[in-house]
Amino acid sequence: MTDDEHADWATGGESAGPHERRRERAAGRLDAVGAAGLIAFPSRNLQYLTGFAEEPGERHFFLVVPAAAAGEPEPALLVPALYETQVREATTIGEIRTWSDGDDPVAATRELLADRGLDSGRLLVDDTMWARFTQDLRAAAPDATWGLAGEALADLRVRKDEAELAALRSAAGVADAVVGDLRDLGADAVGMTEAALADWIADRLAERGGRGVSFETVVAAGENGAKPHHGHGDREIRAGEPVVLDFGTRVDGYPSDQTRTLAFGGDPPEAYREVHEVVREAQAAGVEAVGPGVPASAVDRAAREVIEAAGYGDAFVHRTGHGVGLDVHEEPYLVAGNDRPLEPGMVCSVEPGVYLDGRFGCRIEDLVVVTKDGCERLNRTDRGWE
Ligand code: GLY
Ligand code: MN
């Protein structure tokens, strides 16, 4: 898809709202992959297609989207009765069926699938659907064959429309503002535990308009920084040691995800400063490489070459980046072997790191949107350790 094509695609053109447009496109994608329909449960796919966000629970809750080839039958929801009002308010789905506690939800599911002509054929279910629900779907449609919804939806979700880009920009702005707050905190962070600083970050994210945290906040001080997904613990922050700070929040359902490695209340040792400079150059090289038509793997290579040339290749223990959308980690993955060309509207992280066991870690991460002639950074704050 070119940038002009993406601009048309991203803004729609039809009068339908974003969720209706996404359901229509999903129905077309189902045809393209030879599926009769898809079934989502409370998941990011359901949120993408309806606007309704809910955590999975023990009650049966399904969105059914038939393929366009079936004569464009309407999508439908089957929801627990206690959800009916909020689902009606939050979505534009025409048919919402309910079942009440004490009813048989599998019988209601069987009836809905049969009414939509989805009691046979190939049906795609959420990649994240709990096994107990996939088992009940098999019982409700014993003649169907099964696949995963990502087959149809990943190619839609990978390019962001205007509503998604606006939310991602806002969420990134909140995270950037909190990086500023952390720099202002300065020496006052010394003596705080990682956990206390993680709570402090969560409070600042909320104050600045974010909703919750988009993943467990990483505050990894000193040697803990060598574990890329350390989270946070009881370790106290010491003056001048590098602290890996990787955090995000959500705005309008979309997350931020950025990392800075900072030193509070003093300068870090020379050995760290050298590593920080290498990672900063690698991150710049990765961002520089992002553009339309560039294989995802080439961005990984561009960042990795800088780190390898400095002699730290073995210490860069993860891919250079991942796509970001409703899921914090989604396609496209910037990793060796993924030669998929980047396209306008894709959003991904660029986050090289160096991790030296028992000593320290350093990671610098920004989100970028692929544009027609390169990329736009969503995170713009300084990348230094100060
Ligand atoms: N934070 C690096 C990764 O999970 O890819
Ligand atoms: Mn990330």
Instruction: Give residue for tokens 């160096």.
Output: 354
Q: Report yes or no on 384 lying in a domain.
A: no
Residue 87, φ and ψ in degrees, nearest 5: -70, -40
Residues 150 and 175 in one domain: no
Structural domain includes residue 104: yes
- For residue 124, CA distances in Å to 33, 39, 107, 149, 332 come to 10, 6, 20, 5, 21
Confirm or reject: Cβ of 322 under 6 Å from ligand 1. Answer: yes
CA of 318 to the centre of ligand 1 (A): 6
pLDDT of amino acid 5: 66
Residue 386 in any domain: the answer is no
385 part of a folded domain: no
For the Cβ of 319 lying below 6 angstroms from any atom of ligand 1, the answer is yes
Rounded to an integer, the average pLDDT of 262-282 is 98
Ligand 1: centre distance to CA 60 (Å): 33
250 lines ligand 1 (CB under 6 A): no
Same domain, 112 and 227: no
Domain limits for position 349? 162-377
**Is residue 255 in some structural domain?**
yes
Distance from residue 322's CA to the centre of ligand 2 (Å):
7
pLDDT at position 39 over 90: yes
Q: Is residue 383 part of a domain?
A: no
Flag whether pLDDT at 204 surpasses 80.
yes
User: Residue 262: CB partners within 8 Å, gap ≥ 6?
Assistant: 182, 183, 242, 243, 245, 385, 386
What token pair was written down for 120?
């046979």
Q: Which atom of ligand 1 is nearest to the CA of 319?
A: 5
Instruction: Tell me: pLDDT of 2 over 70.
Output: no
**Are residue 54 and residue 191 in the same domain, yes or no?**
no
One domain for residues 215 and 340: yes
The confidence band for 71, taking pLDDT boundaries of 50, 70 and 90, is confident
Q: Judge if the beta carbon of residue 227 lies within 6 A of ligand 1.
A: no
Backbone angles phi, psi at 319, to 5 degrees: -60, 165
Decide: helix, strand or coil at residue 311. coil
157 lines ligand 1 (CB under 6 A): no
Asked if 134 and 179 sit in the same domain, the reply is no
Ligand 1 atom 2: residue of nearest CA: 318
Last residue of a domain, one of 115, 139, 157: 157
The mean predicted confidence, pLDDT, of the chain is 95
Residue 22 belongs to domain with CATH number: 3.40.350.10
159 Cβ below 6 A of ligand 1: no
Share of the chain above pLDDT 70, in %: 96
326, 248 Cβ separation under 8 angstroms:
no
Q: Is there an atom of ligand 1 within 6 Å of 228 CB?
A: yes
Instruction: Encode pLDDT of 107-134 as tens digits.
Output: 999 999 999 999 999 999 999 999 999 9
pLDDT tens per residue, range 154-195 = 999 999 999 999 999 999 999 999 999 999 999 999 999 999
pLDDT band at 7 (very low <50, low <70, confident <90, very high): low
- The 10s digit of each residue's pLDDT in 316-372 is 999 999 999 999 999 999 999 999 999 999 999 999 999 999 999 999 999 999 999
Ligand closest to CA 259: 2
Q: Give the CATH number of the domain where residue 336 resides.
A: 3.90.230.10
Does ligand 1 have an atom closer than 6 angstroms to the CB of 23? no
The finding on whether 122 has its CB within 6 A of some atom of ligand 1 is no
Ligand 1 contact via 110 beta carbon (within 6 Å): no
Residue 10 has pLDDT above 70, yes or no: no
Q: Is 248 in the pocket of ligand 1 (CB under 6 A)?
A: no
3-state DSSP assignment of residue 324: coil
**Closest by alpha carbon to 115, among 155, 64, 179, 61?**
64
pLDDT at 345: 97
- Please state the atom number of ligand 1 nearest to the C-alpha of residue 228: 1
Of 100, 130, 157, which residue is a domain's last?
A: 157
Per-residue pLDDT tens digits for 78-91: 999 999 999 999 99
Centroid of ligand 1 to alpha carbon of 383 (angstroms) = 18
Separation in Å, CA 2 to CA 87, 130, 346, 361: 36, 37, 12, 38
230 lines ligand 1 (CB under 6 A): no
Residues 31 and 53 in one domain: yes
Same domain? 39 vs 128: yes
Per DSSP, 227 falls in state S
Residue where one domain finishes, among candidates 157, 189, 219: 157
Task: Report CA dihedral (325, 329, 335, 339) to the nearest 10 degrees.
Answer: -40
Does residue 192 lie in a domain region? Answer: yes
Closest C-alpha to ligand 1, atom 4? 318
- 272 found inside a domain: yes
Query: Of all atoms in ligand 1, which is nearest to the CA of residue 229?
Result: 1
Alpha-carbon distances of 177 from 55, 242, 256, 261, 382, rounded to whole Å:
28, 20, 12, 15, 11
Give the residue, out of 246, 335, 351, 355, with the most ligand 1 atoms within 8 A of its beta carbon, to mutate for a pocket test.
351
Q: Which ligand is nearest to the CA of 175?
A: 2
What was the pLDDT predicted at 13?
Answer: 54
